Structure 1
Amino acid sequence: MKLEKILDKLGSIEKNSFIKIIDHIISKNPKNSKEIDKILSSSDKGLKSVDNQNVSNIFSLISSEFTEHLKSEFQEANSQLDILIDIIIRDGNCLMKQDWFSRLYEIEIKNLKVKTKNLISELEKEKSELSDTRKRDYRIYKACLSTAYTNDITNNRDAKITSDELSIILTLSKQLGLSQEEIKLINYSILPIKKADILDVINNLKNLGVVFYSKKENTILVADEMVRLLRKVREKEVAEKFYRRTLKLLREPIINQIAKEHNIERKLTHSQKIEQIIKVGISFTDLLTNEIYKEGTNLTEKKKTLNELCEKGLNIPNLKGSTLEDKIKSLITHFETIEKDEKVGISIDGFDKMLSELNVSIPTLNKELKEQFELQDEFVLSADYLLDYNIKPRDILDLITKPNLSKFVKDNGIKQRGDDILNILDHYKDVENLYLENYANVGYRNLNLLKENGITVKESELGLKFEELTKVIFKGLGFHVDDKFKSQLNTKKDIMDILLNLGNDEIIIVECKTIKEKGYNKFSTVSRQLKSYQNLALKNNLRIVKILLIAPEFSDDFVYDCEMDTEMNLSLLTASTLSKIFETFKDSKYQEFPHVLFRDIVINEERIIKALSK
């Protein structure tokens, strides 16, 4: 769930710890202080009175400082922050009831104790599953960590690993090629593991600004933006779902090779080994730099293998970068972009239909999803529910075994030639709804983002498509989009885009503008155009209730010129605002949108949404 949406759900007391930390970071003059000051200048009472959207914007501007704030907490040897972060950054754990979180925490502590005991035993045995090289690596790291931890006790101080010691130990772990799980097990073979009271745990995480806690709903909430930041703190470069997607493309001998290197049980099935590789926290960069290749593979062959993996397996042609390192960075950036994008690749209706038909074809899927993503509700196959956890259609299809995917394709008459997953996504695309979900992207003429979201369209068609989608939205708002009457009024010279017929000779004129550059700023041109439409309507004895100009955004100069215009009853409406109004209207009590709400120069989204929600 996005940070802004979480903040909208909570009261001021529940947000207080998070706001305090941001306020403290702002007081230390962060690198983006000028941009932050611009946001805060509109508020007399500081950060507490800033709207939730701008709080979210400020958080993105201070993310690097917030990361440093969290890293400093890792110096507390007994903070258990590594354990707790590893729980809350797992796919599906961004919303949890207190008792569910308590259960996951208990399981994690219990498993850690067992694994730590086994590791100590393996290190002490003369003959063990571990290779001599791996034993040596573990012993070196353990000895250095032990010195860093115990030297304070020797000097009669509280045991604490300083930032200098921590940076050296992290460098050492990287050079030894240790996974996050291996590091954690060695750490807790030295540090005592104690199960803390769950309310203390939640309170500590809340005071760090990592989670929000709703006492009313007894629920822990972690924002999507925070999950991404916490992953960076734990040096996990991609979400588990993207790691899994990549591993599933590798041949079984390669998976076995990685499992052997990181002390993963040989008896596990192929799928179980993949899940364990994800869980042990091998760096994604290290995986693609070293782990997926046979010994002795040269750099040219590595680049070729990675290109094939991306092109044939992940459907990413022409991966950017000339070096192996650059290519891996490009792939990580690609996954980050997909994760941040709110669009789901198919329409919400299509997602729900897909889930419903998957449930019929694969009755065990609901249980499998619950277990995989550690979801606590009984029935989880709902698009809105899964999207709150940032789980998208492709993430679900990635979990389904090949035989079950093939069965589902046959059961539902889906194209069988080519890639099953891509064919399924294409089958449930629901083009009109998908276009509506990308309405603002059409307005911005953003071909690349439209393509990533599953829409193929020519640039020359975008202006007309924006107009068509605007008509669909106004029809959905209950207006009479009167194309016949518009055709009677239009001349060869004056051709208005949309006419809303209110009856009794009253109309609303709607003009649609797409833009490629930021900020629509051609007021003089568009005002001449709109005034000619106005004159045309007045000649036909029509009363113009409102003229609406719709574009992705408007420049400050454009808004100022509009405010100075005294000849037209003109309002400016951004595409994203119209889209949000439409979504709110669907759940409102109104059969027809009350057009009197279109009364601002720049239509106020928040005010209209509040009015519709009453």
Structure 2
Amino acid sequence: MKLEQILDKLGSIEKNSFIKIIDTIISNHPKHHKEIDKILSTSDKGLKSVDNQNIARIFSLTTDEFQEHVKSEFQEITSQLDILIDIIIRDGNCIMKQDWFSRLYEKEIKHIKSRIKGLNADFENDKSELSASRKRDYRVYKACLKTAYQNDLDNNRDAKITSDELSIMLTLSRQLGLSQEEVKLINYSIVPIKKMDIQEVIKGLKSIGVIFYSNKENTIYVADEMVRLLRKVREKEVAEKFYRRTLKILREPVINHIAREHNIDRKLSHAQKIEEIIKEGVSFTNLLSETIYKNENTLTEKKKTLNELCEKGLNIPNLKGGTLEDKISSLITHFENIERDEKVGISLDGFDKLLTELNQSLPKLNQQIKDQFELQDEFVLKADYLLDYNIKPRDILDLIVKKDLSKFIKDNGIKERGDDILNILEHYKDVENLYLENYENVAFRNLNALKENGITVKESELGLKFEELTKTIFSGLGLHVDDELKNKLNTKKDMMDILINLGNDEIIIVECKTSKERGYNKFSSVSRQLKSYQNVALKNNLRIVKILLVAPEFSDDFVTDCEMDTEMNLSLITASTLLKIYEAFKTSKHSEFPHVLFRDIVINEERILKALRK
């Protein structure tokens, strides 16, 4: 769930810790302080009176500083912050009831204690499967950590790992090729792990601003933006779902080699080994730069292997980058962009239909998804529910074994030749709703974004498509889009885009403008056009209640010119605002949108959304 959505759900007291941290960062003149000051200049009471949308914007401008703030908390070695962050950044754990979080925390402590026993036994057992070189790596790291920790005790101070010592330990763990789980086990074999009271755990996480806690709902919320930040703190380059997607296309001998390197039980099934590798926190970069290749592979051969892996396995053609490191970085960026994108690849209706038919064909899938993502609800195969957890159609399909995918494809008459997952996604695309979900991309004439989201369209068709989609939205708002009356009024010279008939000879005129450039800035030409439509309507004895101009965004100069115009009752509305109003209207009590809410020069999204939620 996005930060803005979570903030909308909470009261001021529940947001307080997070706001205080952002406030402290701002007071220390962060890197983007000029942009932040510009946002804050609209508020005379500081950050607390800024709306939630702008708080989310300010957080995005302070992520580097916030990341450093979280990192500094790791100096307290007994904080268990590594354990807690690893729980809350797992796919599916961004929304949790308190008792569910308590269970996951208890389960994690038991798991770590059990693994520590096993690791200690492997140290002492000459016949253990741990190689002599791996035992040496563990001993080196353990000895260095013990020295760093006991330095303070020897000097009669509280045991603490300083930021300098921490950076040295992180460098050492990377050089020794230790996974995060291996580091965690060695850390807690030096500092005995103790189960803390869950209320204290929540209070601690809340105080450093990484979670929100709703007292009313007894629920923990971790914003999608915060999950990405915390993943960087833990040096996990990609989300688990993308790591899984990559591991699934590797050959079994490669997976066995990775398991052997990180002390993972080789008796586990192939799928179980993949899950254990993910849990181990094995570096994604190290995996793709070293581990998956044979020792004798040249750099050219490695690059060729990685290109094939991306093109044939992950369907990512033309991976950018000249060096191996650049190519891996491009892949990580690709996964980050997919995760940030709010689009789901198919329409929301298509996703719901896919889940319904998956449940019919594969009745065990609901439990499998529930277990995989550690979800609390009994029935989880619901599109809205899964999207709150940032779980998309591809993430579900990635978990289904080949045999079950084939059965589902046959059961539902889906094309069988080619890539199974891509064929399924294409089958459930639902183009009309997919276009609506990409309404803003159409407005900005962003062909690349449309293509990435599964829409192929000619640039010359985008203007007409934007008009059609705008019509669909106004019809969806319960307003009468009257093409018949519009066609009667239109002349060869004056052709308005959309006419909304309110009855009693009252109308709203809507004009649609697409623009590649940021900030629509052609007031003089568009005002002549709109005044012309106004004259046509007035000659036909129609009362114009409002003229609306819909565009991707408006420049400051355009807004100023609009404010100075005294001849038209004109309001400006951005494509993103109109789409949000449409989404909010669908769950409101209204059967027809109250058009009187269109009363600002630039339509105030926040005010209208609040009015619709009442």
TM category (shorter chain) comes to over 0.9
Query: 1:514 aligned to 2:500?
Result: no
> Hey, what's the Cα distance between the residues in 1 that align with 2:597 and 2:10?
27
Summarize deviations over 1:482-505 as a string: whole Å, max 9, x none: 222222221111111111122232
Q: Deviations over 1:562-583 (max 9, x none)?
A: 0000111111111111111111
The more displaced of 542-551 and 324-333 is 542-551
Matched, 1:523 2:533: no
Residue 130, structure 1, aligned to residue 130, structure 2 = yes
Q: Secondary structure at the match of 1:78?
A: helix
Shift of 1:541: 2.1
Cα offset for 1:467?
A: 0.3
Shift of 1:540: 2.0
Deviation at 1:613, TM superposition (A): 2.2
Q: Count the aligned residue pairs.
A: 614
Q: Are 2:77 and 1:98 aligned?
A: no
Structure 1 residue 320 corresponds to structure 2 residue 320: yes
- Secondary structure of the residue aligned to 1:501 is strand
Percent of residue pairs identical = 81
Q: CA deviation at 1:590?
A: 2.0
Whole-angstrom distance in 1 between the partners of 2:536 and 2:553 = 27
TM-score by length of 1: 0.99
Read off the aligned partner of 2:408 and give its amino acid letter: F
Per-residue deviation at 1:114? Answer: 0.9
Match of 2:355 in 1: 355
Rounded to whole Å, the distance in 2 between the matches of 1:12 and 1:479 is 36
Q: How does 1:110-121 map to 2 (within 5 A)?
A: 110-121=110-121
CA distance in 2, matches of 1:200, 1:594: 47
Please give the alpha-carbon distance, in whole angstroms, between the structure 1 residues aligned to 2:66 and 2:605.
30
Q: Secondary structure at the match of 1:335?
A: helix
Aligned to 1:185: 185
1:552 is displaced (CA, Å) by 0.9
Equivalent-residue separation in structure 1 for 2:596 and 2:214 (angstroms): 37
Structure 1 residue 154: Cα displacement: 1.1
What is residue 44 of structure 1 aligned with on the other side? 44
Alpha-carbon displacement from aligned partner over 1:488-544 (angstroms, at most 9, x marks no partner): 221111111111122232221110000101000100010111111111222222221
Match of 2:60?
A: 60
Secondary structure in 1 matching 2:494: coil
Letter in 2 for 1:394: R
Alignment of 1:609 with 2:601, yes or no, is: no
Please identify, of 525-534 and 268-277, the stretch whose mean Cα deviation from structure 2 is larger. 525-534
Q: Distance in 2 between matches of 1:70 and 1:607?
A: 34
SS at match of 2:405: helix
Counterpart amino acid of residue 45 in structure 1: K
Report the Cα distance in structure 2 between the residues aligned to 1:226 and 1:604, rounded to whole angstroms. 27
Residue aligning to 1:398: 398
1:396-442 CA-partner distances (Å, limit 9, x unpaired): 00000000001001101111111111111111111111111111111
Match of 1:160 in 2: 160
Q: For structure 1, which segment, 30-39 or 589-598, has the greater mean C-alpha deviation from structure 2 after superposition?
A: 589-598
Please state if 1:278 is matched with 2:290. no
- Tell me the distance in 2 between the aligned counterparts of 1:485 and 1:348: 33
Q: State the match for 2:552 in structure 1.
A: 552
Residue 43 of structure 1 deviates from its aligned partner by 0.8
CA distance in 1, matches of 2:584, 2:300: 54
Q: Which has the larger displacement, 586-595 or 84-93?
A: 586-595
**Within 1, Cα distance between the matches of 2:245 and 2:348?**
22
CA distance in 1, matches of 2:594, 2:260: 66
Task: Tell me, in whole angstroms, the C-alpha distance in 1 between the residues paired with 2:111 and 2:234.
Answer: 19
- Flag as ranges the 4+ runs of structure 1 deviating above 4 A: none
**1:235 paired residue number:** 235
Q: 2 CA distance for matches of 1:262 and 1:423?
A: 36
Give the Cα separation in 2 of the matches to 1:349 and 1:483: 27
Q: Which moved more, 1:74-83 or 1:538-547?
A: 538-547
Paired residue secondary structure (1:377): coil
Greater alpha carbon shift after TM alignment, 578-587 vs 228-237: 578-587
Task: Report how far residue 296 of structure 1 moved.
Answer: 1.5
Match runs of 1:17-416 below 5 Å: 17-416=17-416
Distance 1:173 1:150 in 2: 19
Q: Counterpart amino acid of 2:505?
A: D
The alpha carbon displacement at 1:357 in A equals 0.5
Q: Name the structure 2 match of 1:565.
A: 565
SS in 1 for 2:77: coil
- Secondary structure of the residue aligned to 2:78 is coil
1:504 maps onto 2:504 in alignment: yes
Please give the alpha-carbon distance, in whole angstroms, between the structure 2 residues aligned to 1:189 and 1:596.
66
Could you tell me how far apart the structure 2 residues matched to 1:475 and 1:277 are?
50
> 1:11 maps to what in 2?
11
2:528 maps to a residue whose letter is R
CA drift of 1:99 comes to 0.7
* Per-residue Cα deviation, 1:303-332 (whole angstroms, up to 9, x for no partner): 111111111111111111110100111110
- Tell me the equivalent position of 2:476: 476
Query: Match for 1:382: what amino acid?
Result: K
- The amino acid of 1:110's aligned partner reads K
Q: Is 1:441 matched with 2:441?
A: yes
Q: Structure 1: how far apart are the matches of 2:127 and 2:148?
A: 29
**Amino acid in the other structure paired with 2:219:** T
Tell whether 2:578 aligns with 1:582: no
Aligned-partner SS, 2:79: coil
1:601 is paired with a residue whose SS is coil
What SS does the corresponding residue of 1:381 show, helix, strand or coil? coil
5+ residue gaps, structure 1: none
Secondary structure, aligned partner of 1:508: strand
Secondary structure of the structure 2 residue equivalent to 1:533: helix
Look up the match of 1:599: 599
Counterpart-to-counterpart distance in 1, 2:246 and 2:261: 18
- Could you tell me how far apart the structure 2 residues matched to 1:112 and 1:293 are? 31
Instruction: Report the alpha carbon displacement of residue 585 of structure 1 after superposing the two structures with TM.
Output: 1.4
CA distance in 1, matches of 2:206, 2:503: 56
Q: Secondary structure at the match of 1:496?
A: coil
Provide, for residues 256-302 of structure 1, a one-character-per-residue CA deviation record: whole Å limited to 9, x for no partner.
Answer: 11111111101000000000010100111111001111222111011
Distance in 2 between the 1:588 and 1:76 partners?
48
Offset of residue 606 of structure 1: 1.7
Deviates more, 1:582-591 or 1:521-530: 582-591
| Cα deviation code 1:103-146 (max 9, x no counterpart) | 11111111101101111111122221111111111111111111
Query: Which letter maps to 1:331?
Result: L
Q: Distance in 1 between matches of 2:508 and 2:268?
A: 66
The equivalent of 1:428 in structure 2 is 428
| Secondary structure at 1:585 match in 2 | helix
The answer for unaligned runs of 5 or more in structure 2 is none
1:602 is paired with a residue of what secondary structure?
Answer: coil
Write the letter of the residue equivalent to 2:554: F
Distance 2:186 2:404 in 1: 40
1: distance between equivalents of 2:505 and 2:24? Answer: 59
Give, as a single letter, the amino acid of the residue that structure 2 aligns with 1:321. Answer: G
Letter in 1 for 2:455: I
Instruction: Report the residue type matching 1:70 in the other structure.
Output: V
Structure 1 CA distance for aligned equivalents of residues 420 and 606 of structure 2: 42
Give the whole-Å Cα distance in 2 for the aligned partners of 1:458 and 1:282.
43
In the alignment, residue 603 of structure 2 is paired with which amino acid? I
Paired with 1:589 and 1:113, the residues of 2 have a C-alpha distance of 53
In 2, Cα distance between the equivalents of 1:279 and 1:34? 41
The letter of the residue matching 1:30 is P
Report the equivalent of 1:450.
450
